[in-house]
Amino acid sequence: MSVYKRGKVFYMNFTVNGVRVFRSTGMTTKREAKRVEAAERHRLLKDSRQSPQEKTANTPLLDAIEETYQAKWKYDKDSQRSYRRACNLADLIGNVPLKDIDEGAVALLTRKLESRDSSAATINRYLACLKTILKHMKQQTDYISLRKERKGRIRVLSKEEERQVIGLLRYTDHAPRRAYFHEIADLVEVLVDTGMRLGEALSLRYEDIDFNSNLISIWINKGDRPRSVPMTSRVKSTLEARQESNQEKPFSIKAHQAETAWRWVRKEMRMESDRELVIHSLRHTTASRMVNAGVDLYVVKDILGHASIATTQIYAHLAPHKLAHAVSVLE
């Protein structure tokens, strides 16, 4: 019997295509309970005939984001960044059902990002995020095309620019809300002398720093390749000095605070229009200085933690002495 009384209400208990339903109908009369049971049977039969794409087509975008986060992003090192970007998608195009995300929705998304003066790289990150969500939910993505990104110049800081940046951060009499800018000065020195990524430096702990061997061990990074980074005497003295106030971590600031300080520096240096002068330029600076000093590209690759030598080779043109040597060989 698929519908029976239990206490004051009727329950339903039946199986459709291997899916068992056993729960209360919430009804107190058999006629009403049978009506609920019939509706549930119809729903299950309809669902069983739907493709995976049809089953998830009505899922709201925010629900799809949560499912994707749990299945794909939750344990990634950039999980929160991916999740925030995905939630921003819902703000930009609305919490619409997945079936309503089409070429028009993608065009709306790109227009809104362009109105914010977003770069092609930023737009592509949002589009890639959207594709990941839709693919996980078994939806079509062939109408989403990434934009061609302009290959910008490798922006490096001159020694003079480096001195200006550090001087402005360290010696300016900052307002209380910018008191942490002094800490950013130390961070800049560490970044430009080690080539670490911003996230790597902010996650650094003193247990990973060996002052005897002058090596910093980086265990979690973008390429999932643990590596050791040598310390200059400036980095060593900076980190030792900072340990006096914090025995666990050299830096307690957040990434957004570092970005805020960097924007302030660019404004003070009247370089707001130089869009390639970003914090990551410090990493480029490290690489270019090593290459110009004749350090082997494979050594540079290991210090920077590149997954492939092809990534490191973008700095090869910065070593003009190698070109001169090549000409001398041909003479």
Domain borders along the chain are 3-49, 61-136, 159-324
Mean pLDDT across 72-86: 85
Amino acid making up residue 328: S
Amino acid 45: pLDDT: 79
Report field, pTM of the whole predicted structure over 0.75: no
Amino acid 116: pLDDT: 85
* pLDDT band at residue 1 under the 50/70/90 scheme: low
Q: Is 146 left (phi over 0), alpha (psi -120 to 50) or beta?
A: beta
Which residues, 6+ apart, have CB-to-CB distance to 106 below 8 Å?
A: 127, 130, 143, 144
User: Nearest-5° angle of CA 110, CA 116, CA 117?
Assistant: 90
**pLDDT, tens only, 143-200:** 998 887 666 567 899 999 999 999 999 999 999 999 999 999 999 999 999 999 999 9
If you count them, how many residues does the chain have? 331
Q: Round to whole Å and give the CA distance between 135 and 170.
A: 48
**pLDDT, tens only, 191-228:** 999 999 999 999 999 999 999 999 999 986 665 678 89
Q: If you count DSSP H runs as helices and E runs as strands, how many of each does the chain have, helices first?
A: 15, 6
Environment class of 56 (CB within 10 Å of its CB; exposed 0-12, middle 13-18, buried 19+): buried
Six token digits for residue 245: 């106030």
DSSP characters for 291-308? HHTT--HHHHHHHHT-SS
**pLDDT, tens only, 16-32:** 877 788 889 999 999 99
* pLDDT band at residue 274 under the 50/70/90 scheme: confident
Structurally, what CATH architecture does the domain formed by 159-324 represent? Orthogonal Bundle (1.10)
Mean residue pLDDT across the chain: 87
155 touches 162 (CB < 8 A) = no
Q: Round to whole Å and give the CA distance between 91 and 230.
A: 43
